[in-house]
Structure 1
């Protein structure tokens, strides 16, 4: 193919946005990338043939990137064979510098090459630094769906290579003028010059036509762009953001959560029951001993009927108002006020809402909590109103739900603190429904018959859209009000603190089977000993922290509520990849990014974006604006409130936002297969997911497999295809895992990680604190051993994310032969690598037999012994007692906690008592 129109358009666009002359100093361009190859991994580079490249340590100890030759890559047109591209980085204007040494003996075409403007294998530029000059050597070339053609206006007589000598090279590119300059050793005078505007953006790369050589100290300065050549904005500026009341003409009473459909219609929940009908334990402190002991919603209901009787009306007046007006203060007064869901829309398209109606109500049993979460997905409206998750639908188009079903039941066992409800509804990248609950607890019997008991935990929960395969995804949280997925399917949230002196909220990376450490019964331990504060469980990792806890990334802002991630084209480029957080009590709004760091993340670029409005729930609309609800005064209910729109006015009519809005409104059920596959690489995650889910409905297994396997496809398209394969394999008898297994050896580490994650996703054994096994025995292939064996090499992968997901998958598969390799992984883990430790714990819990786990008491590595303790704790195995006399006080204390905490391990209590008496 010749260059598509959008390449030419991007050149026109670049002409108005990039610098115009070559007088711009190199230092004016920000540093986008440096690599001295001192690390063992080369994950930032994508070679055409990975076997032809390696990290080499020289005699002086310096590490370099070596092209050893022998590339098996066959380009579509005559052009270089040995290329290593800088992965996932697209640039317009740039200055690229590097050190290079040829390892080829002298000959006419002895060369090294630099690549730029790389669109795909048939469209790019390169400079061939050849020893002699002719039409095919020592020139600047273009490959434009045809064999390379020289475009040099100036070229040297030959590149003066010297054996065993490092040379300095530089490439300068100005997209607007088309300028290309090449420098060799002399960094002031170019040896080669050309002008061409065919490719105004692309990747850069290093390599050689078909020789050998070394590369070091690569530095790239430039203007980062997206795949269509549009500049990616610099630092985010909160002054760009404007807060606009979307409901200026009417009150939205006491709103909590918001979700918008693909046409921009908002669904907003209202609470009327908070504290008046959904009671707060802080106003009933004499009930605390009873409350912490509730193990089911039925127990709480029975307690209300026992305590809030008409005979105790006078005593109960301080607890409940006589809301039904029958002259008695009793449990019947808890069934008067209903939670509501409103449907709000802008019918005339003027940018503000003008119509609001009740979509659903009549949520008002004695134990009904608040409507703290709402999600519109594929025509169904889900709402979390403890003790139930509701699934609602308007089948006749009158704006009111006429189909209602309880999607899941058994949430909110405790009275606990007001606000610690169910919330955070969202669609996962795997097609499941996810949501969160505060520490009012969980006791759910799934449709498959599994009994999930987490009475003192906040948690993240998930199940299929039809309510099947419910599971507790992560636990030990206190009150994460909303959660958000990023582009790679990682889940984040900001957890509320316990209102203890000196303690803070927590930014958390939420992974499967994690225990974040919180227990509701610890809330009431002050001023006596409370593990939460005494052991500093709320802090990021520290050396004395218990091993069963997966700690937060960092402490953060007060009162976290609404939380959302920019799905790709919302707001403006300055806020790409940003998370947004409402700090509700103080009326502040914040934004930040999460940067990958090993198997975990770090928070970067956090800054305040708003102040003064007590916003709660957050959601992006199809128009690219960020919507949020305002309580209209804070915690006391006053039937006031509003929906606000947070936006960048200059971006409202941007091309990318208009395109996204159009694609979201489109009926993907009517789209052909080619259209859907193209959308898997769209810039906006919502468009990508919509296409993925439609392909999954069509059982497009072969399409997913083909895209996932194609290394020339954009990485995000491959990842979505992997998630699609996950949808079509999990819980399915006889599922075909071959395409996912094949990806475990992919060159791209993220592809390996995602494949490992999906392989383990449809299997579960007892790897979490629960007296029942993980859900459903369905979906177990005849030989899980084969899958486990394919995963085992990934425990030694150079990438920590790959190791993490492989270990978790092995734990889910539960094949005992894998345990020794998991132990080896744990032995290599550093104390601060808490997510790798967690993955190892999951692996041991699922794979390790009691004899092996107890035998690890003799292992030299302290972290291995601690992980064995946590694995035995999760299995409630009394063999954990052998660790009570461990030489490490940290490990011994871990064993004591395992025996004493949560459900306890009764058979091991005598050993603990004896140890306490003698230690």
Structure 2
């Protein structure tokens, strides 16, 4: 088992800036000349990574600020919230555990130099063990860990959880990678989330089975395998938006309400995939009619394992957007900022821990569907311990990447329990400068609604809805004349909430828009 990085070496770590840093000494060792022990040191972390042209990767933090990060979120102050998984699958791998439980950490760059200098424990509990998701919504933090989804509240603003409430429970996949995953905030003010094929069903905070949009109990009598959901912030009005996935790790929602996610194959079959989630669709992991697996003989069977794997020739199976071969796909986000080069804007940004890569997917319309191409953003070309677990967009428009950093991808094993990395990807030399948002006026809140960071947009949405009629004029102006279609779409969604009397008018305007995304 590895040792915590000694505190006396933090100063050396903080001097690291970029994998393209020309200030390195002439005798600095190249990655292929480092010993295995040297390669694992935080000060050498960037040497094994390759960053896309036009971008720069910097280290924000490593151990001892946190360890074994499984998921992250970034709040409107630019602080990084980390779920740790030291107590990861001990019954299977035999690793030691912490009797105090795992932790949720808040990591902060307090002096604006782009490097984490403080971290604090927001929550720790003996029943917090290897959580897989975190979503920061103001003073509420949603934590996903089968069999529970909890809401943790910081009531007095001291960065400590004061109370914990159950949002959902009864979800399968306890201490399993295929349980419930992270929640995300949508442009319609609802929450979106998914679980893998161990999840099976949902129960509410009172232990009652949750019913779907048709009034049917969510479970195997109606749905197969992994599912993706939408609900109100309080957990009511749950809808199943798609099913028959294997293990979708996160769902990303763009400003128009389109849903995108990845899915993992049965290990070793080179069938991992990216999906556009067509609402209420069947995604073919098992036979929709009889539940048979992909290898079962059937009529019109596909000609290769990666295609057989998803029953793509079966009537009713929604086609995949893209198949990405072998992998262990993890976190995903829609990048709707402007701080990165054009080729990364309005793209899915996705982590795949298997091939040690963070990718961007360029999606183009083809007929009634889509196709996609891959652009790598960050890859562990010479460090196969690079295991990107999650990616988020910070309020300044940069990307924040969490690295599990391990010889393996999880899968119930952990070869290392104490390391972890957080990287920032931005344009070269871009400072980590977090904009100061004003949520007290309609104009300020509308500006915050245009931020690429979801935690900022949540607070802006909440502020605008709270203002009611006072917010309508600025929202209507944005809806009518904003040059950015995504900003128009966000204003439209808030208008439907704050001005129900005018909803028909806004909808009719959307239906005749020249932009098909707004018409849909």
Given the two structures, how large is their TM-score scaled by the length of structure 1?
0.44
Higher relative contact order, structure no. (Cα contacts within 8 Å, ≥ 6 residues apart): 2
Secondary structure, counterpart of 2:160 in structure 1: coil
1:41 maps to none
Q: CA deviation at 1:251?
A: 5.4
Q: What whole-Å deviation, never above 9, does each CA across 1:767-818 have from its counterpart, x for those lacking one?
A: xxxxxxxxxxxxxxxxxxxxxxxxxxxxxxxxxxxxxxxxxxxxxxxxxxxx
Q: CA deviation at 1:508?
A: 0.4
Q: Is the 8 A contact 1:708 1:719 kept in 2?
A: no
Q: Please report the RMSD computed on the Cα atoms of aligned residues, expressed in angstroms.
A: 3.8
Distance in 2 (alpha carbons) for counterparts of 1:511 and 1:620: 25
Q: Does 1:430 align with 2:244?
A: no
Q: What whole-Å deviation, never above 9, does each CA across 1:355-400 have from its counterpart, x for those lacking one?
A: 2232112252xxx873001111122111101111111122233332
Q: Residues 405 and 525 (structure 1 numbering): CA distance in 2 closer, same or farther, change over 3 Å?
A: same
Tell me which of 403, 412, 430 is aligned to 1:652.
430
1:309 maps to none
Secondary structure, counterpart of 1:344 in structure 2: strand
1:252 maps to 66
Q: Structure 2 matches for 1:627-638, cutoff 5 A? A: 627-633=400-406, 634=408, 635=410, 636-637=413-414, 638=416
Q: Residues 579 and 530 (structure 1 numbering): CA distance in 2 closer, same or farther, change over 3 Å?
A: same
Q: Is the 8 A contact 1:258 1:266 kept in 2?
A: yes
Q: Structure 2 matches for 1:864-875, cutoff 5 A? A: none
Tell me which of 158, 162, 165 is aligned to 1:398.
158
Q: Does 1:342 align with 2:77?
A: no
Distance in 1 (alpha carbons) for counterparts of 2:88 and 2:287: 19
Distance in 1 (alpha carbons) for counterparts of 2:512 and 2:308: 33
Aligned residues: 447
Q: What whole-Å deviation, never above 9, does each CA across 1:583-615 have from its counterpart, x for those lacking one?
A: 212322222221233443211353353223112
Q: Does 1:476 align with 2:247?
A: no
1:358 maps to 121
1:267 maps to 81
Q: Residues 340 and 473 (structure 1 numbering): CA distance in 2 closer, same or farther, change over 3 Å?
A: farther
Q: What whole-Å deviation, never above 9, does each CA across 1:860-912 have from its counterpart, x for those lacking one?
A: xxxxxxxxxxxxxxxxxxxxxxxxxxxxxxxxxxxxxxxxxxxxxxxxxxxxx
Q: CA deviation at 1:509?
A: 0.5
Q: Is the 8 A contact 2:357 2:379 kept in 1?
A: yes
For structure 1, list consecutive stretches of 5 or more residues without a partner in the other structure. 1-236, 284-319, 325-335, 755-919
Distance in 1 (alpha carbons) for counterparts of 2:125 and 2:329: 29
1:510 maps to 277
Distance in 1 (alpha carbons) for counterparts of 2:477 and 2:90: 54
Secondary structure, counterpart of 2:181 in structure 1: strand
Q: Does 1:743 align with 2:513?
A: no
Distance in 1 (alpha carbons) for counterparts of 2:396 and 2:479: 33
Q: Structure 2 matches for 1:44-63, cutoff 5 A? A: none
Q: Structure 2 matches for 1:719-734, cutoff 5 A? A: 719-728=489-498
Q: CA deviation at 1:271?
A: 1.6
Distance in 2 (alpha carbons) for counterparts of 1:570 and 1:247: 21
Q: CA deviation at 1:735?
A: 6.9
Secondary structure, counterpart of 1:429 in structure 2: coil
Q: Structure 2 matches for 1:3-152, cutoff 5 A? A: none
Q: Is the 8 A contact 2:106 2:121 kept in 1?
A: yes
Distance in 1 (alpha carbons) for counterparts of 2:201 and 2:300: 23
For structure 2, list consecutive stretches of 5 or more residues without a partner in the other structure. 1-50, 212-216
Secondary structure, counterpart of 1:545 in structure 2: coil
1:593 maps to 362
2:146 maps to 386
Q: Does 1:617 align with 2:390?
A: yes
Tell me which of 547, 554, 557 is aligned to 2:322.
554
Distance in 2 (alpha carbons) for counterparts of 1:540 and 1:603: 20
2:21 maps to none
Q: Is the 8 A contact 1:436 1:461 kept in 2?
A: yes
Distance in 2 (alpha carbons) for counterparts of 1:543 and 1:474: 15
Q: Is the 8 A contact 2:190 2:230 kept in 1?
A: yes
Q: CA deviation at 1:410?
A: 2.4
1:54 maps to none
Q: Does 1:444 align with 2:217?
A: no
2:267 maps to 499
Q: Residues 574 and 513 (structure 1 numbering): CA distance in 2 closer, same or farther, change over 3 Å?
A: closer
Q: CA deviation at 1:340?
A: 2.5
Q: Is the 8 A contact 2:198 2:225 kept in 1?
A: yes
Q: Quick check: which one's helix share is greater?
A: 1
Q: Residues 363 and 512 (structure 1 numbering): CA distance in 2 closer, same or farther, change over 3 Å?
A: farther
Q: Residues 641 and 748 (structure 1 numbering): CA distance in 2 closer, same or farther, change over 3 Å?
A: same
Distance in 2 (alpha carbons) for counterparts of 1:620 and 1:459: 25
Secondary structure, counterpart of 1:710 in structure 2: helix
1:667 maps to 438
Secondary structure, counterpart of 1:259 in structure 2: strand
- Runs of at least 4 residues off by over 6 Å: 320-324, 520-524, 530-537, 540-544
Q: Is the 8 A contact 1:629 1:641 kept in 2?
A: no
Q: Is the 8 A contact 2:294 2:308 kept in 1?
A: no
